[in-house]
Amino acid sequence: MNTGQIISAVGHVGLIGWLLFGGQFDAEPLPFEVRDVAVISSEEFEAMMAAQRAPDTAADVAMPQAPEEDQSTPSELPSLPDITPERSEPESVETPSTDERPEPELPEPQPQSVEDLPPEIASPAEEESALLVPDTSRRPQSRPVERVTPEPVAQPPEPEAAPDEVVREETEDSPAEETRPEEEATAPEESVTDITPEASDDVTAAPRRSARPRPRPQSTAQAEDEQDADIADAVSSVLEEAQRGEAEASEEQSTAPALSEGEADALVLAISNCWNVDPGSTAAEVTVVVSVTLNRDGTLAGTPSLVSAEGGDQGARNVAFRNARTAIIACGRGGFDLPSEKYESWREIEMTFNPEKMRLR
Amino acid sequence: MMRLLGNLMMMLVAAGLWMSAAQAQDGPLRIEITDGVMEPLPYAVPDFIPENGAAEEMAENVARVVAADLSGTGLFREIEEDAYISRITSFSSPVEFADWRAINAQALITGSVAVEGEDVTVKFRIWDVFAGQELGEGLQFAGTRSGWRRMAHKVADEVYSRITGESGYFDSRVVFVSETGPKDDRRKRLALMDYDGANVQYLTDSTSLVLAPRFSPTGDRVLYTSFESGFPRIYIMDVADVDRRVLQSQEGTMSFAPRFSPDGQQVVFSLETGGNTDIYLMDISSGEETRLTRAPSIETAPSFSPDGDQIVFESDRSGSRQLYVMPATGGDAQRISQGSGNYGTPVWSPRGDMIAFTKQSKGRFHIGVMKTDGSAERLLTASFLEEGPTWSPNGRVIMFTRETQGAQGQAGLYTVDITGRNLKQVRTPDGASDPSWSPLQE
């Protein structure tokens, strides 16, 4: 084997290596290049189109499926409680065991709360205003507070409007209320997860290829006059990149179809406009992280959930979370304006609500 | 050669690592929201449902008082009935959340009132409209016809508490000095009213000058200064039967500016003797006095911290009136006010995190707050003359006296949120000054 062959062999191996992994050496600018949507090669365009097409078709498939399977539950749910409470309510007064619904209501911790709230109203002496040195006998005080729920149960027979009373149980039947949104939410979500694998594969493929063209000319030039030092440098930089990439992966979404800064900012702004902060409240001392799952059309899938809360007491944290949840629901009513081709990058979002700048106390 | 191949191997391994890292980036998108809006929370409180004919008027009145309480805080904004899409026809009927969402009502309060003879029962529920669920559980209060406003205040307190996570202040009272007549012949008497100015009662007649009434921590007694004997003396009055007695009477001295300790067992006050004013502590039951300051300057307006460990007061020992904090047992005092101008009448917040004060600077008066170490001073108001701040039971609102300029000038009571917003006058039948806010009633 002469020197020429060695050089030729190494050169070819190097060239093939660069062709396969050349793009990775330039990994640092990768996340940014990816966001430059303006530079699109035909290859990318095809890939993107493929990515777009894939969801479309998948969505078509999923749409009919989801309703068919789930329709019975979501559509009938609202009507179901309408009927059941009517029957269950009267029964629940006398025989709590008959129905499923009454059971959760009766064992509710009502007795405890009755004891908890015992403002007493002693029979108040007259409250005379504008009297000179009146005998200000003690003002009336509330009697022990009772839960409202036990009352209605006993009441139905009394009032004339029996039908009204019957309907009431529906409100109290909070499980029924809650299940409705959940069911609605789950249906779209399922259809979405079905699509996901196809879409994500295509979408990730597109940018990965798109990144290559740029570094190629440089690296091939280098490959031709390969020197140990260069390769060693390249290798170490790749290793560094690998480590850095892992670190970034945990903090930031830098997969190929990430939102551009402008798109992310627009989302932040949209939610900011609905996030009502009372700077004088203890809730303004709390930073909450809320997890949200979105449908492909930008609407909420399910309700936002609390990931973590920092600062304040439990009461303040509850309020801070509720304020954040309200902001998301209120501003997301018509769906957030997000690019559907990047759906995988924003399907799940963790939103941190940090009121530090607005804090007063 | 081997070295080159080794490098190539490393390259392949490194590339593999990188790719696995790239594929691992499937966590959720993370964003941070740091700028919100500061707007009153929109809510709806439809008239409560009368459960019988006798309750019709009261059902409407209760809802109106609840709305007045909530909107009066500046933290809530009521949505007018005209905007309602769906009606609440029965206390128990299901809530059409979509209809209330459509008019952007974030909270909905529904209720009913039953009146039988003198007995009144109020039931209510609070709904988190956007979450589509009830906020807490329904409650009911039972009372009498004459106490209906208190029941409404209690409903509003509960709503406030569930929505903000902090206790309310609506079912509370204010003791103050009612003023009638022109400035050069002003008649003053002690008066008591609900926090919103309703149900005014007078506790003393106007034959002698009275000053600076202060509620006890439980709201059952009032300390005040009276010139009944010709000299200022501290009196203590039982609010329920208006029974009063002199608390401190040392010949040839003047005592004033009293305040209860947080346990209600002691009174901290100023005593002037031989031209020097210092701060003293007195045990109410034994009458035993302890001198807390010994300075040739004027020390006055003491106020306990809610934990009872410290006392904030004003002193002119530095040449101008400034605020100082010392241990409740006396000893070294730390100056906390650092700005220019004169500071006076400090009051420790019931939450313990702030001190409210009066500040006089460049010919104007201000009510302000600062942290207990004197930092983060914020002036909330400014006018020709204002003084005497008192905290709402939850430490969110400050009530104070503002007096208008000129011979016809009159004193009135005002409230301001600690954010400096929502400045309002409290409706009183005559002039009013020196308010002291009670705790929440039980």
- pLDDT greater at residue A141 or residue B263: B263
For B125-158, give one letter per residue: b (16+ CB within 10 A) or e: bbbbbbbbebbebbbbbbbbebbbbbbbbbbbbb
Report the DSSP beta bridge partners of residue B4.
Answer: none
Categorize the per-residue pLDDT at B274 as very low, low, confident or very high, splitting at 50, 70 and 90: confident
Domains and CATH numbers, chain B: 41-164 (3.40.50.10070), 173-437 (2.120.10.30)
The pLDDT of residue B314 is above 90: yes
What would the pLDDT profile of A7-20 be if each residue is shown by its tens digit? 888 788 777 777 67
Alpha-carbon gap: A68 to the closest alpha carbon of chain B (Å)? 25
**Among A229, A251, A273, which residue terminates a domain?**
A251
Rounded to the nearest 10 degrees, how much is the dihedral formed by the CA atoms of A30, A36, A38, A42?
20
Q: Both tokens of residue B232?
A: 């200022």
Q: Which of the two residues, A51 and A137, has the higher pLDDT score?
A: A51
Cβ neighbours of B35 (radius 10 Å): 15
Q: What's residue A21's pLDDT?
A: 65
Nearest C-alpha neighbor of A156 from the set B34, B306, B415, B92 = B92
3-state secondary structure of B120: strand
**B24 contacts in chain A (CB < 8 Å):** 246, 249
Cβ separation A253–B75 shorter than 8 A? no
CA B64, CA B196: separation in Å to the nearest integer? 13
- pTM here is 0.67
Predicted-complex ipTM score: 0.83
Are A253 and B27 inside 8 Å of each other by CB? Answer: yes
Cβ atoms within 10 Å, residue B403: 19
Note whether A205 and A274 are same-domain residues: no
Do A268 and A214 fall within a single domain? Answer: no
Write out the DSSP string of B231-297.
S-EEEEEETTTTEEEEEE--TT-EEEEEEE-TTSSEEEEEEEETTEEEEEEEETTT--EEE----SS
More confident residue, B265 or A226: B265
Q: Smallest CA–CA separation between A345 and chain B, in Å?
A: 6
Instruction: Report which residue type is found at A254.
Output: S
The shortest CB-CB distance from B29 to any of A20, A246, A345 is to A345
> Is A85 a member of any domain?
no
Structural domain includes residue A290: yes
Beta bridge partners of B189: B178
How close A33 comes to chain B (CA, Å)?
15
- Helix, strand and coil content of chain A, in percent to the nearest 5, comes to 60, 5, 30
A333 and A274 Cβ atoms separated by less than 8 Å: no
Nearest chain A CA: its distance from B303 CA (Å): 21
Q: Is the pLDDT of residue A327 over 50?
A: yes
End residue of a domain, out of A216, A251, A286: A251
- Please determine, for residue A87, whether its predicted confidence score (pLDDT) is greater than 90: no
Residue in the block written with tokens 């035993």: B288
Nearest CA in chain A to B239: A136
| Beta strands at B299-304 and B289-291: parallel, antiparallel or unpaired | unpaired
Range in A63-77, B224-238, B375-389 the model is least confident about: A63-77
**pLDDT score, position A311:** 92
Task: Give the closest of B33, B89, B166 to A272, CB-based.
Answer: B33
Contact list, B90 vs chain A (CB under 8 Å) = 161, 164-165, 167-168
Question: At which of A225, A251, A277 does a domain end?
Answer: A251
User: A301 and A350, same structural domain?
Assistant: yes
Q: Give the pair of three-digit tokens for residue A63.
A: 């749409």
Indicate whether A340 and A194 sit together in one domain.
no
Whether residue A291 is found in the same domain as residue A327: yes
Q: Which helix (H) or strand (E) holds A2?
A: none
Rounded (to 5) percent helix, strand, coil in chain B: 15, 40, 40
| Alpha-carbon distances, residue A178 vs A81, A99, A183, A213 (angstroms) | 12, 19, 9, 52
* End-to-end Cα spacing for chain B: 90
| A272 to B89: CB separation less than 8 angstroms, yes or no | no
Find the CB nearest A121 among B91, B142, B164. Answer: B142
Do A191 and A276 fall within a single domain?
A: no
Confidence band, pLDDT 50/70/90 cuts, at residue B7: low
Cα–Cα dist A248/A234, whole Å: 20
The CATH number linked to A277 is: 3.30.1150.10
Q: Who wins on pLDDT, A340 or B359? A: B359
What pLDDT was estimated at residue B417?
96
CA distance A91 to B20: 61
A219-271 confidence digits (pLDDT tens) = 444 444 444 555 456 556 655 655 554 444 444 444 447 888 899 999 999 99
Q: Which of A129, A183, A250, A333 should one mutate to test binding to chain B, selecting the residue with the greatest count of B CBs within 10 A? A: A129
Contact A147 B147 (CB under 8 A): no
| Mean pLDDT estimate for chain B | 91
Is B35 an 8 Å CB contact of chain A?
yes
Q: Which residue has the higher pLDDT, A15 or A57?
A: A15
Q: Find chain A residues with C-beta within 8 A of B128's C-beta.
A: 322, 326
Q: Has residue A199 got a pLDDT over 90?
A: no
In this structure, what DSSP letter does residue B34 have? -
Give the rounded percent of residues in chain A with a pLDDT score beyond 90.
22
- Whether A330 and A246 map to the same domain: the answer is no
Please give the mean pLDDT across all residues of chain A. Answer: 59
Query: Are A245 and B147 within 8 A, CB to CB?
Result: no
Average pLDDT score over residue span B320-342: 94
Does residue B431 register a pLDDT over 60? Answer: yes
- In chain A, whose CA is at the least distance from the CA of B151? A142
Q: Are residues A294 and A347 in the same domain?
A: yes
Q: Which of B:68-87 have CB within 8 Å of A?
A: 75
Question: DSSP assignment, residue A155?
Answer: S
Nearest to B164 among A177, A241, A281 (CB): A281
Q: Does one domain contain both A278 and A306? A: yes
> How far apart, in whole angstroms, are the C-alpha atoms of residue A177 and residue B132?
8
pLDDT for residue B432 is more than 80:
yes
pLDDT of residue B181: 84
The alpha carbons of chain B give a radius of gyration, in whole angstroms, of 28
Report the half-sphere exposure of A239 (CA within 13 A, side-chain side). Answer: 12
Q: How far apart are CA A85 and CA A162, in angstroms?
A: 13
Closest CA to B396 of B428, B350, B429, B343: B350
Measured CA to CA, the distance from residue B271 to residue B278 in angstroms comes to: 6
β-pair partners for B238: B221, B243
Tell whether A191 is covered by a domain.
yes
Whether A98 shows a pLDDT value over 50: the answer reads: no
Cα–Cα distances in angstroms (integers) from residue B358 to residues A41, A127, A284, B367, B389, in the given order = 70, 34, 26, 5, 7
Look at B32 and A164 and tell me if their CB atoms are within 8 Å: no
Q: Which domain holds residue A247?
A: 3-67+184-251
Q: Per DSSP, what are the bridge partners of residue B141?
A: B122
Please state the rounded mean pLDDT for residues B281-291. Answer: 92
Per the structure, the count of domains in chain A is 2
The verdict on A189 and A328 lying in the same domain is: no
In a domain, A276, yes or no: yes
Q: Report the alpha-carbon distance of residue B359 to residue B337 in Å, rounded.
A: 10
Checking if the pLDDT of B318 tops 70, the result is yes
A270 and A246 both lie in a single domain: no
Least confident range of A109-118, A342-351, B384-393: A109-118
CA angle B329/B332/B338 to nearest 5° reads 120
User: Is the residue at A224 inside a domain?
Assistant: yes
pLDDT at A190 (0 to 100): 36
pLDDT digits (tens, 9 = 90+) for B104-120: 999 999 999 999 999 99
* Alpha helices (H) in B78-227, listed in sequence order: 97-102, 148-164
A80, part of any domain: no
Within this chain, do residues A265 and A212 fall inside the same structural domain, yes or no? no
Q: Any idea which of A16-20, A39-43, B161-165 has the lowest mean pLDDT? A: A39-43
